[in-house]
């Protein structure tokens, strides 16, 4: 295991290093650099706190890590297995979660022994899963309608907004970022559920909803 620490808690990082310091290859204290740093140092596992400071979207960070074949182990604080954030991460492909109170021995075991799907689903409350799947489906359908009606227009590309990602006065850049994130989530879930990437979006959304409900 090649572990990147992204917890935001100095005490936790210190304890981890005391137990498995030979496997820790780096640490980072803000969201924006997690994926780039993990790829730069060739980490295969990231211990990541959902509450890590920064401006990045946690679902997008998780998607990018999983896409790079990097395993996230999520510290969820006071949340529970049936929290919406946990279910969202699960649907993206995360399988390893820790909750308060954090016991170092259990955290080490979690890092060294990845959870299996069957073990995890037994701990989760599947009642809300169909509802969460429908939420994702609604997002995908919203994307489809936006594209069909061509309500989203690409902003002019300039040196400034290409480099800095700044939004223009009409806010179109922000809308494009939202659509990009939805597309990334859709592609990630399609890959996890073995749905062909060329499947049209409306059909893919229905297939995702049905497959998730069937799984649970």
| Whether residues 91 and 155 fall in one domain | no
| Whether residues 37 and 103 fall in one domain | yes
Instruction: State the virtual CA torsion across 47, 52, 54, 58 in degrees, nearest 10.
Output: 70
| Whether residues 161 and 87 fall in one domain | no
**Inter-axis angle of helices 172-192 and 58-67, to 10 degrees?**
50
Q: Residue 116: give its domain's CATH number.
A: 3.40.50.2300
CA nearest neighbour of 136 among 47, 34, 54, 63? 63
| Whether residues 18 and 115 fall in one domain | yes
| Whether residues 146 and 117 fall in one domain | no
What residues make up the domain containing 27? 3-124
| Whether residues 152 and 171 fall in one domain | yes
- What are the Cα distances from residue 59, in Å, to 90, 189, 214? 10, 12, 23
| Whether residues 138 and 89 fall in one domain | no
* pLDDT at residue 123, rounded to an integer: 72
pLDDT in tens, the chain (216 residues): 999 999 998 988 999 999 999 999 999 999 999 999 999 999 999 999 999 999 888 988 998 999 899 999 999 999 988 788 888 888 888 999 999 988 888 899 999 999 887 777 777 654 455 555 555 556 555 555 554 554 434 444 444 444 444 434 444 455 555 556 666 667 767 776 777 777 776 667 667 766 665 655
| Whether residues 91 and 187 fall in one domain | no
Last residue of a domain, one of 124, 155, 171: 124
* pLDDT at residue 152, rounded to an integer: 39
* pLDDT at residue 86, rounded to an integer: 86
| Whether residues 120 and 131 fall in one domain | no
Last residue of a domain, one of 63, 96, 124: 124
| Whether residues 48 and 155 fall in one domain | no
| Whether residues 120 and 142 fall in one domain | no
| Whether residues 171 and 200 fall in one domain | yes
Rounded Cα–Cα distance for residues 41 and 182 (Å): 28
Per-residue b or e along 129-145, where b marks 16 or more CB atoms closer than 10 Å to that residue's CB: beebbebbbebbeebee
């Amino acid at each position: 295991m090649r572990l990147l620490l992204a917890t935001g808690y100095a005490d936790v990082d210190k304890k981890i290093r005391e137990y498995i310091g030979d496997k820790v290859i780096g640490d980072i204290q803000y969201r924006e650099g997690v994926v780039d740093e993990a790829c730069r140092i060739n980490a295969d596992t990231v211990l990541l706190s959902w509450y890590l400071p920064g401006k990045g979207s946690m679902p997008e960070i998780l998607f990018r890590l999983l896409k790079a074949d990097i395993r996230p182990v999520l510290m969820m604080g006071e949340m529970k297995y049936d929290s919406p954030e946990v279910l969202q991460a699960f649907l993206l492909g995360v399988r390893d979660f820790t909750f308060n109170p954090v016991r170092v021995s259990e955290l080490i075991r979690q890092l060294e022994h990845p959870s299996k799907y069957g073990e995890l689903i037994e701990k989760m409350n599947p009642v809300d899963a169909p509802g969460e799947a429908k939420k994702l489906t609604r997002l995908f359908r919203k994307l489809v309608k936006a594209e069909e009606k061509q309500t989203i227009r690409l902003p002019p590309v300039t040196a400034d907004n290409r480099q800095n990602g700044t939004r223009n006065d009409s806010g179109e850049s922000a809308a494009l970022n939202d659509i990009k994130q939805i597309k990334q989530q859709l592609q990630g879930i399609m890959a996890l559920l073995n749905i062909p990437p060329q499947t049209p979006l409306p059909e893919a959304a229905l297939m995702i909803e049905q497959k998730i409900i069937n799984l649970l």
